[in-house]
Chain A
Amino acid sequence: MKGKKKTIALVIYFGLLFLPIYWMINMSLRTNADILASFALFPIDLTFANYIKIFTDASWYSGYINSMIYVSINTLISLATALPAAYAFSRYQFMGDKHLFFWLLTNRMAPAAVFALPFFQLYSALHLIDTHIAVALAHCLFNIPLAVWILEGFMSGIPREIDETAFIDGYSFPRFFITIFIPLIRAGVGVTAFFCFMFSWVELLLARTLTVTDAKPIVATMTRTISATGLDYGLLAAAGVLTIVPGALVIWFVRNYMAKGFALGRV
């Protein structure tokens, strides 16, 4: 009885959640003039012109490729550096640990607008402007702290007896960490990977500041739909629908990590 009520509530929530997405899909299949002229629950004059433009115009589709490159680099760096660090924060006491832990998160707390110019100057001085690595590095500023905090939360939930038993059994630290410990927190690793991907994917200000053409991300390309004649809502909506796809694939791949619990005592 109770389980059924839960499911019904969930289905209603998902229905509401889907409405704005449906409207975006609806808009993406109509021309701009049609969107602005009248209300239509379904696209009447169905057109794929917006999608065709994105898939045939290099300045559009290269944006998706550029974004995917630097987002992947960023996610890998964030996870690779944050995993050992989060372990240190959850298990050890060392000089300045609490301050350092909180300092990491403070890097997400500043309003970004005024920081655009200093970022441009810093990366120009290093001759990194308009490269994928520049954006990937800049996004580490907010993604690494996020990854450390989320992973630390999951690691602290694992009893320390597991570590102790493994060390007594003669496991070296790297072997214990990779073969025993990481599998235990895979729900955390999955959700962290997805959030790193997501925050880097939608970040606009730094990505736009640090790129010109060669590494221009899709989020920056999408701001181009604002022109002197107004906004091309249809094109923007089509680009919006397509920006969802890579991230949805990421969460599809990490779904098993996120959903499967674990049984204690398998060490």
Chain B
Amino acid sequence: MDKWENNKAWFLVMPVCAFVAFSAIIPLMTVVNYSVQDIIGPGAHVFVGTDWFNKVLHDYRLHDALWRQFLFSGLVLLIEMPLGILIALAMPKRGWGVPFSLVTLALPLLIPWNTIGTIWFIFTRPDIGLFGSAINSLGVAFDHTRRPLDAWATLVLMEAWHWTPLVALLAYAGLRAIPEVYYQAAKIDGASPWATFYYIQLPKMRGVLTIALLLRFMDSFLIYAEPFVLTGGGPGNATTFLSIYVVKLALGQFDLGPAAAISLIYFLIVLLLSFIFYQVLQRVGKGEKA
């Protein structure tokens, strides 16, 4: 599977580079600038080198927030990826069920994120919400405003509700792009449904599943609006993820220097992990093909 070598392909990539670089480079360099300066007022700033980085790296609240973020992303990925693939496999291939399923899956994705937090806040309230009162009437004490575990369950459930459709839609489109001949070949060979899934569907979906996993990792690791509205990082600091902590620092105390330093560290963590995921997934795919 060697690709054609041709540097003229750059011409096809140029427009994309121009549009993305336009908004990417200057803001990123400005944030790098903030992170090495102490900004006292407009036009008044002092170069402080790596002071902010040293300071934030020794901040134990930051470490706690980071571990919460890891836990949250891990849980969310473990639920959303398999569930999304299962939904895609179960979805109808023709008839009126197709548009119905597609539109239904799209519904949660189209609501602005802070609105999702607000709706779920009411939806899970034990006194006036459907979910909260239903759970309570089953005899389970549930209150996401007071009990950390309930707050976590609510957030993970909300995130799974919100984003599993993204995985499902991608996986479904990936499944539909597999040519019929592959299935016919599998049928002739007498392959079981599991073998068909493992040797045909899964490898053919590698591309879309890679992007689905990376997207879900990045976005759940950077999640802000929904937990901010739903729990506000509480009860206590139980759901103060790294993203919430950074914004508290940036906007709450107008401390641009440390906030920029954390943002860059945050960015590098996401980058590193995404890179590892990407490399591993590429290897796995290649191995299966051989």
Task: List A residues at the B interface (Cβ < 8 Å).
Answer: 2, 6-7, 9-10, 13-14, 16-24, 26-27, 35-39, 41, 77, 80-82, 84-85, 87-89, 91-95, 97, 100, 102, 104-115, 117-119, 121-122, 137-138, 140-141, 144-146, 148-150, 152-154, 156-157, 185, 187-188, 190-191, 194-195, 198, 201-202, 204, 218-219, 222-223, 231, 233, 236-237, 239-240, 243-244, 246-248, 251-252, 255, 258-264
Contacts and interface: CB of A to CB of B under 8 A. Distances in A.
Interface size class, chain B: 35 or more
Given A94-B9, A113-B263, A243-B112, A137 B22 contact: yes
Contacts of B169: 191, 194-195, 258
A97 B17 CA distance: 12
Interface string B1-15: 011111111101101
Residue among A10, A187, A198, A259 with max Cβ neighbours from chain B (10 Å):
A259
Helix, strand, loop or mixed for chain B's interface?
helix
A10 B91 contact: yes
Given A248-B103, A259-B98, A145 B119 contact: no
A95 B11 CA distance: 12
Interface stretch (B43-51, B52-60, B143-151, B264-272): B264-272
Contacts of B26: 118, 122
Given A14-B101, A92-B6, A247-B109, A20 B123 contact: yes
Contact of A140 (B20, B106, B107, B267): B20
Interface of B: 2-10, 12-13, 15-17, 19-20, 22-24, 26-28, 30-31, 34, 87, 89-94, 98-99, 101-115, 118-120, 122-123, 127-131, 133, 161, 165-166, 169-170, 172-174, 176-181, 193, 204, 206-208, 210-211, 214-215, 218-219, 222, 224-225, 242-243, 246-247, 250-251, 256, 259-260, 263, 266-267, 270-271, 274-275, 278
Contacts of A112: 222, 224
